[in-house]
Every structure is written in C-alpha cells, then in structure tokens.
Structure 1
Amino acid sequence: MTSTTEPYAEFAERLATTTLLRFATAGSVDDGKSTLVGRLLHDSKSVLTDQLEAVERVSLSRGQDTPDLALLTDGLRAEREQGITIDVAYRYFATPRRRFILADTPGHVQYTRNMVTGASTAELAVVLVDARNGVVEQTRRHAAVAALLRVPHVVLAVNKMDLVGYAEPVFTAIAEEFTAYAASLGVPEITAIPISALAGDNVVEPSAHMDWYDGLTVLEHLETVPASHDLAHCPARFPVQYVIRPQSASHPDYRGYAGQISSGVLRVGEAVTVLPSGRTSVIEGIDALGESVDIAWAPQSVTLRLADDVDVSRGDLIAPSGQLPPSTQDVEATVCHVADRPLTVGQRVLLKHTTRTVKAIVKDIPSRLTLDDLSQHPAPGQLVANDIGRVRIRTAEPLALDPYAESRRTGSFLLIDPADGTTLSAGMAGDAFAEGAGAAAVPADEEGWDF
C-alpha cells in the first residue's frame, strides 16, 4: 500500500489558511440584509464587472443616483418588483484569508421555512436590526431559530446607524437587549457591530463616523471567527452512497464503498460496524483522489475497503465499533414544516436520513413552538407551513440517528411525501425544546404502514 499521509497533511495545512465559513443573514423586512450582502460583495471586490453594470443600469432606470447593491442578491423578478427578499439567495465569494458560502434569507414571517433552510448548515448567523426600530418581534424570532438550529456564532448588525446620527447610546441599548435575549436562548457567542450598509460604515472598512467603536468590521469578524465546521473531533460517521465493483482484470475482486465522511476521522486498520445490520469488519484500505491513504477525515469523499466480505449497500452507515450512534425505530424530533400541505397525525411519510430512506408514520405531534416567546401550544393536531413543532415518528426499519445537539449532519433528516416526492418537513433529532403532551393513539394502517 502506498501511503500519502504527508501530502494530505500538507493539503490540510493549506485548507487551514483559507478555511471555509458558511454564514446566513436574517432580519426584518427593510432592515437592509440584501444591501449588506451587496456591500460585502462589492467592497471585497467579489462582483464581476458585468454584474455591477447591470445593477447600475437598473438603478438608473429607477431614478437612483447610486447603484442599489441589494439587486446583487435579489435575483427573482418578484423580489425586484416588490423590493423584498423572497427566496434564499446563495452567494460564493472569497478573500485572501477565507472562502465564504453566504445564504441571504427572507425577513417575512411567512418565509420562516426559508430561513431554516438557509441557516441549517451555517456556522454563523448575521441578524440585522434597524437602528431606528431596535429589537422587534421578528428579531427575536430569528434569534430563536438560530438557537434552535444550534448556530454557534451570532453577529448582531445594528444597521442604518447613519439615520440615528451614529449615536452610541442607540447602539448600546439595542446590543444589550438583544444579547440578553439571545443568551437566554443558549446562543453561545454574540458579537454586536454598528454599521451602515448603504454608506459602507464598518462593513468592510472601519467607519469614520463612529470613532467610539473600536471593534472589528463585519468582514474582519467573518474572516477571523473560528470556523466550527471542523468535525474531526466528533465520532466518525460514513454514510454509504455507492458500492463500487469495477470490471478490471487488474483488480477482479475490488469492492469499495464510496461516500462522504460526515464527521470524524477514519483510519486503516480500525474496527468498524455496519449499521443497521450490526456486522463488523476492519478498514483494509481508504482510496481518495485515486490514491491509497492511511487516514481520511470529514468532509472528504473517499472509498472504503473492508477486510471482510460483508453485506453493505447504499443507505448503510459505517462507524467505529467503539463509537456507535443510537439505533432506533422510534424517532422523537423537532421539525420545521416547509410544505404548503399540512403534516398530520397518522400521516404516512418517507424519512430520509443521510443516504438512507425508510417508510415511516407520524405517530404524534405533541406540541407546536411559538418562536416569539418559545412557549408551546400542546397537541396542535397538525403542522402547517412555517410551523416548528415536536413530532414522534415510527420507522419501518432502524435508523442510526445521532442527537442533533451532537451532530447537525447525522442528527438531521427530511420527511417526504411518498406520493410525489415533495419535501414536507426538515427534522432535528433529540430535545431541541421540551416535550409536550403524551402520544395520541394512531389506528393501524390497512397498507402495512403501522410499525
């Protein structure tokens, strides 16, 4: 076996100098999210010339003297016509210090599901507040969603400081109120920055109007905040995507299991267990980028070769034998309902977890969460679009499901309509918030879905 551990170490060192940060923006309508994103892209020289020219043309046609940078992210026609963000807009940009994936999420209450989608993989959330309005209901709702999704870093960007005379007391009062509320939700780290996205104050360059603020700009904070997506210290999880059996005369007996490492580190010689079957083996080889390596870590895509001829197929999960996830058919979770059709007790669904999809039944919906104050509405009977609630689900086959609090990757899942493949809900396994009322009885299903 050819070892390429050293080149991989060098590759890891290079990645460490240009790490990737996923972050999302959120805020009330007209707080200036899209303008902030446009300012970030423009001032960090991440906008192509033709894009900027197109924005300038549209802005001039509207009678505006300066380019409306919000147009760089509000790409849908309905968004441009209404002047609001409707869908999640993903943008990719980079500075010499870091690469970024940005999700600009809507501010409307009816698009809470879009914010959940955008923030579900984020390591940082930028919550905007209009300095004239302070902390409002939607601000608290976005803080609650960030806490629910366990986003480790939250930035409070107090925007439109130019409209309040760049007054320090205004910023201080808003920062103290938001910090106290977010801390009560369990948000681990909160950073407040006074900005004017329209004028560019403290976005990329320090403001000349707020000498009382000596902290980092938004971009400086984004470039230096510790990236929390390093999953190397978590238990290893390897969902199998594909079984590779090449028809090659040189390797007639080759059998590899391809996929992306969700978390942790895998090593040649390590004892592993295949779930849900429980069969055990040893990692005989790891192939990455066409070469054999001794070690691989998340989020690399690799092919594992096992020492024993065990039955492994797509949807199975390979994990170290000493660090196995819980295996269960009774799933208790928090879900955000994203479909227009409701989720009801007794409904038949498909549950997709990593690369595995199984039949399931919604046994109970104990409670619905009110994001404004985190109170619970017991036994709602159903969840409609944008609702977040507690569910109990029975699956046809066991699932190796980590608690979401321990792993945002292997602790999350989707509920899918088996009739047409529509995504119904995004789920987070475990105790995202306290449990509600007891389970309601569900009648047996005539088609064999009562597990």
Structure 2
Amino acid sequence: MSNETETLTRFAPDSGTEVALPVHTDLLRLATAGSVDDGKSTLVGRLLHDTKSVLADQLDAVHRASADRGLSTPDLSLLVDGLRAEREQGITIDVAYRYFATGKRTFVLADTPGHVQYTRNTVTGASTAQLAVLLVDARKGVVEQTRRHAAVLALLGVPRLVLAINKIDMVDFDESVHTAIAQDFAQHARALGYSDEDVVTVPVSALHGDNVVERSERTPWYEGPALLEHLETVPVAPDPHDVPFRLPVQYVIRPRTADHPDYRGYAGQVAAGVVNEGDEVVVLPSGARSRVSMVDTPDGRAQSAAAGRSITVLLEDDLDIARGDVIVSAEEQPRVTDEFDATVCWLAEKPLSPNAKVLIKHGARTVQAMATELSTRFDEQELSSVDAPDKLELNEIGKIRFRTSESLPIDDYADSRRTGSFIVLDPSDGSTLAAGLIGVPLAPLASAVTR
C-alpha cells in the first residue's frame, strides 16, 4: 500500500454535483467473495450508496430498473452489476472494481463473482487485497464455496478477513445463529493459518442496511463495529519496508539535455523495502555492484524512498542496465535461478500439460519457460489433492516446476508479493494463462479445507 497522497472525486446522488473530498493519505484495498445469492452485490451497492459514491444518473437508472422489475425499493446490487448481460441474467460474472471514500480512508474494492466456475476471478480480485469481506447467508451458514474462497484467500496471503453474516433479518436477528456460524468459520480459518485477531465477524442485512454503515438497534447483542466502521479503522500494514529493497527496472531515462548531459536513471516502482542515497546495491541478473548516488521522485530529489513509491535511481557507476533488470539490496539478495517450484491457479480454458512451453512475466521481464513437472493438483471444487496429475484445468490450483530460458531474481511470495509472484502467458498470443506464487506450500491448504 502506498502512503502517498491520493485524491478522489465523488458525486452527491441527490444533485449530481461534484463533492470535493478531503485529501486522503490512507488507502485500503479490499475484495469481496461469497456464494451465489448471498447478497454480495447488494452489500457493495449499499456501501456505495450510503457513502454517497454514486452518480445521480446511475442511481436514477437503478430506480428505473428496479421499478421495471416490480420492486418497491431500489435494488442496490445494480450499482455493481454494470454489464447489461449481467443485469438480464440477474448474476454477477466478472470482477468489478469500485472506488469510494469516507473522511477517514480511501477504498479500492474488487467485487468478485460467487459462482464456482469463476474462482479465477476471485484470484484476480484478491491478488492485491489487504483485506477480504467474505459473505455467508445467515440461513445457510458456512458452505463449501465459503471454504473454497477462504482457502484461495489464504493461498494469496490476504492478511485479514471479515465474515459478513448477511440476511440476519431473515433469521429474526437471532444471536445464536450468528454465534454458531462465527464459531464454525473460526475453526476453518485457524486451520488455514489465520489467528482469531485476523478475522472479524459482523451480522448484517445488506438489504436494509443493518450494521453496514451504522450499527443496528435490531442487534443489541452485537457489540462490535459496523462493517464500514471496521473498514475505516482496521490497522492495515503498508507495503513492507522492513524487507530487502527491490526495484524492478521499467525504463531507463537518458534525457540528453544541456541541463542534464550525464543523467542516466533507472525508473520503476519500489516493490519492497527502502532505498537510501549511498546504499550499496546489486543489479540482477548480471550481479554488477554500485552505490545509489541519487533518488529522484516526481516531487524532486529525496534522501530515501519506500515500497509503493515510483522513483528513478541514479548510480555512481555506469552499468549496463535494461528494462527487466532488478536493482536490489547488496546485503540481502534474492535467489537467481532458472528453475523453481510455484503454486499456480490456472485461469485459462486450455489445460496445462507437462512440458508445455509458456512465457513467464516476472516484474518487467518476460522470458520463455517450460512447465517441466506437475507435482500436485489441488482441486478446490472437489476439495481434494492429487499427486502427479496429467494436466491442470481451469480454476484448478497446482504445484508446478518451471524451467526458464533466462535466470530470474525471485523471492518467496510470503516475503515479497511483488517479486514472489508472476503470471504465465500463452506464447502464441500473449493471453494470460495462470497466476503463480513462489514458495507457497500447497499440501497444508488441501488438508485444511477438508477438515
């Protein structure tokens, strides 16, 4: 998460006029997940509506569409289901990114579909999330899809969960129902590696707004925060600064002007750690060493820069550095290898077979690669684990060994999300085939979801 200042504009739904937001320095990236018809889109729509983050004409369209369906109140889920095909079918089938803000925090929300066959969209939406809101229907409790989504969120390293027990009004706001579901999910979350402090349970009615933005008088037994209150105040760790410095080079800047005849900078976004003027660094994969002579930012020269900041680094030595190289801390370097194991979620209709030739995009570098071994497949739909599978199909998660044509500087995903992850591309057309995580164990995940 970047702590740089961000600005956002929202509109008052009653007038359609722009409302100036205060400057925010705190950003929370969150994702939603849940089974079909758990009310996820309604919950997101309620958040957008009650924080006045909706255009007036959008709200008018929702009122008209709701009236056409014979509804007496607006269907707030339509604020999320932006595609006409989705509205006609009454389902959400894609990842919808929404932006809203309050006086305390700015939010980027990824709303993912609930259908089993769209697990790949859950992976996409949760890949950068710092928190996930997982919905369950109070009448159904924790179901298989709940456990699947929780497993995927744990696999992706999402550090905090909110279990929103929706439709609490449909069970007469019964405290015992809430308690039973919370205890059931807590046991599963612990098996996935979450502590009790990492998971918060909130009873909500997205339709009526109970405990969504404000605490409800109809749940006097619930002493915790409303959902938005929790989202505004939950501690969110910024991009890790206490890990080794990593800067994937995206562009080499040489202006060649009279004012800067010798300027040669290496631009990119700091993926992890902190860089200071004078730090000794290594350029990978070449292994060349130098020291940082200047840290340049859009705001001018800086003594240091942390993860999430876009910078240009100048070095004391004139080195051969190109796009795709990585500038790293000399004291703590990643491993440089042309062969590694990774857990991947297969996102394509075309299955992966052993010895398939692919492209791997790691940071700003894309290299040829081969999937030399399919070690294990975890089928999140069947909640089973299979050794030495003959292929990996859509939505399946597996452990794969890759061999690359060029050595890559890699970290474990648990240490650095940016340099510990990659995507797999189709060499024929460049389409995305899979998302990969380095050093993420698969076996504990399979055993946890079957408990």
TM-score normalised to structure 1 length:
0.92
Residue equivalent to 1:156: 163
Separation in 2 of the partners of 1:79 and 1:313?
A: 44
Partners of 1:350 and 1:357 within 8 A in 2: yes
State the alpha-carbon separation in 2 of the partners of residues 79 and 9 from structure 1: 35
Residue 194 in structure 1 maps to residue 203 in structure 2: yes
- Please tell me the residue identity of whatever aligns with 2:87: R
The 5-angstrom pairing of residues 375-394 of structure 1 reads 375-394=384-403
Question: Which residue type is aligned with residue 291 of structure 2?
Answer: V
Q: Which amino acid aligns with 2:417?
A: R
In structure 2, the residue corresponding to 1:382 is in which secondary structure? coil
Unpaired segments ≥5 residues, structure 1: 1-7, 437-451
Distance in 1, matches of 2:89 and 2:342, equals 36
Out of 262, 268, 289, the residue aligned to residue 298 of structure 2 is 289
Give secondary structure in 2 for the equivalent of 1:54: helix
Work out which of the residue numbers 107, 111, 118 in structure 2 matches 1:104. 111
Instruction: Measure, in 2, the Cα distance between the counterparts of 1:9 and 1:162.
Output: 39
**Residues 1:63 and 1:10: Cα distance change in structure 2 (over 3 Å):** closer
> 1:367 Cα shift?
1.1
Does residue 1:367 correspond to 2:372, yes or no? Answer: no
Q: How does 1:417-428 map to 2 (within 5 A)?
A: 417-428=426-437
C-alpha displacement at 1:432, in angstroms? Answer: 2.9
Contact 1:286-1:296 within 8 A present in 2 as well: yes
Q: How does 1:44-63 map to 2 (within 5 A)?
A: 44-63=51-70
Distance 1:372 1:346 in 2: 25
Distance 2:194 2:95 in 1: 23
Contact 1:18 1:96 in 2 (8 A): no
1:234 to partner: Cα distance: 2.0
CA RMSD of aligned residues (A): 1.9
Provide the residue aligned with 2:348 in structure 1.
339
* Matching of residues 83-162 of structure 1 within 5 Å: 83-162=90-169
Percent identity, aligned pairs only, is 58
Task: Show the counterpart of 1:82.
Answer: 89
In the other structure, the counterpart of 2:29 is: 22
Taking a change above 3 Å as real, the CA distance of residues 9 and 153 of structure 1, as seen in their structure-2 partners, is closer
Q: Contact between 1:158 and 1:192, CA under 8 Å: does it hold in 2?
A: yes
Deviates more, 1:182-191 or 1:159-168: 182-191
- The answer on whether the counterparts of 2:378 and 2:398 sit within 8 Å (CA) in structure 1 is yes
Separation (CA, whole Å) in 2 of partners of 1:227 and 1:317 = 27
Q: Residues of 1 paired with 2:27 and 2:441: CA distance?
A: 27
The ranges of structure 1 where at least 4 consecutive aligned residues each deviate by more than 2 angstroms after the TM superposition are 8-12, 15-18, 370-375
How far the C-alpha of 1:17 sits from its partner, in A, is 6.5
Matched, 1:266 2:275: yes
What SS does the corresponding residue of 2:272 show, helix, strand or coil?
A: coil
Contact 2:3/2:27 (CA < 8 Å) preserved in 1? no
- Partners of 1:142 and 1:121 in 2: how far apart? 15
The question of whether the paired residues in 1 share the 8 Å contact of 2:116 and 2:381 is answered with: no
User: Partner letter of residue 376 of structure 1?
Assistant: S
What code does the residue aligned with 1:195 have? Answer: V
Aligned-partner SS, 2:319: coil
The DSSP-based 3-state class of the residue aligned with 1:274 is strand
Q: Which moved more, 1:77-86 or 1:28-37?
A: 77-86
Q: 1:432 aligns with which of 422, 425, 441?
A: 441
What are the residue-to-residue correspondences of 1:309-324 with 2, within 5 Å? Answer: 309-324=318-333
| CA offset digits 1:38-72 (Å, max 9, x no partner) | 00111111112111111111111111111100001
- In 2 relative to 1, CA 9–378 (structure 1 residues): closer, same or farther, beyond 3 Å? closer
TM-fit CA distance, 1:370:
2.9
SS at match of 2:378: strand
List alignment gaps of at least 5 residues for structure 2.
7-21, 446-451
Q: 1:326 to 1:10 in 2, by over 3 A?
A: closer
CA contact (8 A) 1:123 1:229 kept: no
Counterparts of 1:18 and 1:280, CA distance in 2: 35
Deviation at 1:372, TM superposition (A): 5.9
Residue pairs, 1:29-40, within 5 angstroms: 29-40=36-47
Matched with 2:309 is 300
Q: Deviations over 1:222-260 (max 9, x none)?
A: 011111233222211100000011120121111110111
Whether 1:355 aligns to 2:403 is no
In structure 2, distance between residues paired with 1:70 and 1:229 = 31
> What does residue 329 of structure 1 align with?
338
The amino acid that maps onto 1:210 is T
**In the alignment, what sits opposite 1:415?**
424
The count of aligned residue pairs is 427
Deviation, structure 1 residue 371? 2.7
Say if 1:351 and 1:414, in contact at 8 Å, map to a contact too: yes
Match of 1:183 among 177, 180, 190: 190
Q: Distance in 1 between matches of 2:101 and 2:297?
A: 26
Q: Write the distance in 2 (CA, Å) between the matches of 1:305 and 1:369.
A: 45
CA contact (8 A) 1:390 1:435 kept: no
Mapped to 2, the partners of 1:197 and 1:244 lie a distance apart of: 50
Q: TM-score, normalised by structure 2?
A: 0.92
- Whole-Å Cα distance in 2 between the matches of residues 379 and 78 of structure 1? 40
What is the Cα deviation at residue 77 of structure 1?
Answer: 1.8
Partner of 2:234: 225
Question: Which letter maps to 2:336?
Answer: S
Give 3-state SS (helix, strand or coil) of 1:142's partner.
helix
Aligned residue in 1 for 2:175? 168
- The residue aligned with 2:287 is 278
Tell me, what secondary structure is at the counterpart of 1:343? coil
Post-superposition CA distance 1:73-115 (Å, at most 9, x none): 1111221111111000000111110000000001001000000
Q: Per the alignment, do residues 292 and 314 of structure 1 end up closer, same or farther by CA in structure 2, a change over 3 Å counting?
A: same
Corresponding residue number in structure 2 for 1:238: 247
What are the Cα deviations for residues 327-365 of structure 1, in whole angstroms up to 9, with x where unaligned?
A: 111110000011111111111111000101111000011
